[in-house]
Amino acid sequence: MENMNFENLGLCPEIVKAVKHMGFEEPSPIQAKAIPAMLEGKDLIGQAQTGTGKTAAFGIPLLQKIDPKNKKLQGVVLCPTRELAIQVAEEIRNLAKYMHGIKVLPIYGGQEIVKQIRSLKSGTQLIIGTPGRVMDHMRRKTIKMDHLHTVVLDEADEMLNMGFREDIETILEGVPQDRQTVLFSATMPKPILEITKKYQRNAEVIKVTKKELTVPNIEQFYYEVKPKNKEEVLSRLLDIYTPKLSVVFCNTKKQVDLLVNTLLGRGYFAAGLHGDMKQEQRDRVMQGFRSGKTDILVATDVAARGIDVDEVEAVFNYDLPQDDEYYVHRIGRTGRAGRIGRSFSFVSGKEVYKLKEIQRYCKTKIYAQKVPSLDDVANTKIENILDDVDRIIESEDLTSMMEAIENKVNHSDYTAMDIAAAFLQMCAGMTKEDAEDEFDFGDTGAEDPGMVRLFINIGKKQRVRPGDIVGALAGESGMPGKLIGTIDMFDKYTFVEVPREYAKDVLEAMKHAKIKGKTIAIEPANQK
């Protein structure tokens, strides 16, 4: 399965195009096995958990089999909850993006049934629904199963746990005998096996085994980090390990954008990848990453699925993944082609328990590490420089350089040791000015991670509006006004949140500034 790709699965060009647009570059293990089996018309039992890509595993072949010219119902997917039904419908719509004439409709309880009936009458080929509501439509005869060729039970164990067994059996009894029945379940309890035996014919069993989820070439570490300190810790780890290429995973598109801006502001070559980006943008970002022009890729799970770049040396879980299996997919971006990779996870508060679940699932050890100090970063830089010095001494002709140093020693009070130490400090970037730039604001009570809460001695009684605050801060410091966070105004004072990386500049710029003609005082808010 190593060289498997979507092109050689026998899919129509429209689906392949949509898959690429969604950011998938290669099928997941469950997709590589399930898609060919479903296309052959086999009944299928897929044992897979959320996060394995199972929606696409049944959604792709389901779409491939639908005749867009036939406006009758051809496929039904049963889901345990309305949330999952909506999510699955959305993903299948994305897969059908370039297929004209295919209508996908989620139906579930709590939604106005008249509206659903109207949509059904307009011609729907694929329904994603909860068992109760699907059965309700069958009773009303607003769903007709005459042309149905595929039924999918998604998260079948969950549906049984929620008491839907009778509903499921009623539905399966009411669909054509000559159909394909596909079942996906994380576990295989006895009731599931009974359903498979009763309603499936010679079903092929597909399972993502634990073996496929192992990560033997990856050293895994975690750090207990407060949300507000994540940016700083990430920077220190990047400086210590200096990975050739690294992928940083965030859980939201907003966080991806924020972190990319922060990293760029700190001098790193970073780029973001998420679902809101156009395909041309994604291609451009991935080309830059593959070529090494960008060495840090910040991405969401959806956008990063299937990233196939062998030189990735480190993966950072900036946000801990919401699903155990996402963790496996994430860190699988490194340690490829026989190389040793590293993964670093940031954990806050109760997320430690989530990490233990991940360890149990992966049957692997994730080692706790102490957050590196600034001294650790500095010492590592020095060690790396001295290693480079060894290589230069052994391989380069240094005659002219030695003459220059000898000349300096002869015409000054400095020793060769003094000069060497000064050069080392310069190379390591450890100037006095840089040291003074390090400012720990601590916990200022900011609501949002990565923000600093500032106190300003002016408020409503001076007829100051939030816009005045934003205008002054942005105008004086050069910080984009849109980056300013929560503003809490009181009669005589105001609290305002600014990104941590801008906080020092804002304080410096506002020392002698005026708002509404009044000279103000500004300082970090008292710590909680």
Q: Per the structure block, which two tokens stand in for 169?
A: 């059996």
Q: Is 412 left (phi over 0), alpha (psi -120 to 50) or beta?
A: beta
Length of the chain measured in residues: 528
Q: Are residues 259 and 351 in the same domain?
A: yes
Looking at the domain assignment, is residue 30 inside a domain?
yes
Among 325, 353, 372, where does a domain finish? 372
Asked whether the beta carbons of 253 and 318 are under 8 A apart, the reply is no
Nearest alpha-carbon partner for 292 in 234, 338, 343, 246: 246
Q: Are residues 220 and 314 in the same domain?
A: yes
pLDDT in tens, 231-276: 999 999 998 888 989 999 998 888 999 999 989 888 889 999 887 7
Asked whether the beta carbons of 227 and 348 are under 8 A apart, the reply is yes
Q: Are residues 301 and 362 in the same domain?
A: yes
pLDDT in tens, 476-505: 887 777 888 888 888 888 989 988 878 888
Report how far residue 525's alpha carbon sits from residue 378's, in angstroms, rounded to the nearest whole number. Answer: 30
pLDDT of residue 336: 65
Q: Are residues 335 and 406 in the same domain?
A: no
pLDDT of residue 300: 86
Nearest-5° angle of CA 313, CA 315, CA 316? 140
pLDDT of residue 527: 55
Q: Are residues 457 and 516 in the same domain?
A: yes
Report how far residue 328's alpha carbon sits from residue 316's, in angstroms, rounded to the nearest whole number. Answer: 12
pLDDT of residue 430: 53
pLDDT in tens, 18-33: 888 776 767 878 888 8
Q: Which ranges of 200-271 does DSSP label H, i.e. alpha helix?
A: 230-241, 253-265
Looking at the domain assignment, is residue 293 inside a domain?
yes
User: How many domains would you assign to the chain?
Assistant: 4
Asked whether the beta carbons of 453 and 445 are under 8 A apart, the reply is yes
pLDDT level of residue 437 (50, 70, 90 thresholds): very low
Q: Are residues 380 and 478 in the same domain?
A: no
pLDDT of residue 337: 60
Report how far residue 148's alpha carbon sits from residue 72's, in angstroms, rounded to the nearest whole number. Answer: 8
Report how far residue 137's alpha carbon sits from residue 120's, in angstroms, rounded to the nearest whole number. Answer: 10
Among 343, 372, 401, where does a domain finish? 372
Q: Are residues 290 and 304 in the same domain?
A: yes
Among 186, 208, 230, where does a domain finish? 208
Examine the pLDDT at 433 and tell me if it is beyond 70. no
Half-sphere exposure of 527 (CA within 13 A, CB side): 4
- CATH number, domain with residue 498: 3.30.70.330
Report how far residue 118's alpha carbon sits from residue 294's, in angstroms, rounded to the nearest whole number. Answer: 50
Number of alpha helices (DSSP H) and beta strands (DSSP E) in the chain: 21, 20
Residue 284: which H helix or E strand, with range? helix 279-291
Q: Which residues are CB-neighbours of 176 under 8 A, at least 6 positions away?
A: 145, 146, 148, 149
Give the residue-averaged pLDDT of 166-192.
90
Q: Are residues 115 and 193 in the same domain?
A: yes
Q: Per the structure block, which two tokens stand in for 420?
A: 């060497």
Q: Are residues 183 and 241 in the same domain?
A: no
Q: Per the structure block, which two tokens stand in for 305?
A: 């699925």
Q: Are residues 155 and 128 in the same domain?
A: yes
- CATH number, domain with residue 240: 3.40.50.300
Looking at the domain assignment, is residue 445 inside a domain?
no
Examine the pLDDT at 215 and tell me if it is beyond 60. no
Looking at the domain assignment, is residue 275 inside a domain?
yes
Looking at the domain assignment, is residue 497 inside a domain?
yes
Examine the pLDDT at 222 and tell me if it is beyond 90. yes
Amino acid occupying residue 320: L
pLDDT of residue 120: 86
pLDDT in tens, 182-208: 999 888 888 889 999 999 998 999 887
pLDDT of residue 429: 65
Asked whether the beta carbons of 525 and 461 are under 8 A apart, the reply is no
Domain encompassing residue 503: 451-524
pLDDT level of residue 432 (50, 70, 90 thresholds): very low
Q: Across the chain, what does the average pLDDT equal?
A: 84
Q: Are residues 477 and 402 in the same domain?
A: no
Report how far residue 110's alpha carbon sits from residue 114's, in angstroms, rounded to the nearest whole number. Answer: 12
User: Which residues are 522's β-sheet partners?
Assistant: 456
pLDDT of residue 212: 47
Please give the residue that has the higher pLDDT: either 41 or 310: 41
Global pTM reads 0.48
Looking at the domain assignment, is residue 204 inside a domain?
yes
Q: Are residues 88 and 139 in the same domain?
A: yes
Looking at the domain assignment, is residue 476 inside a domain?
yes
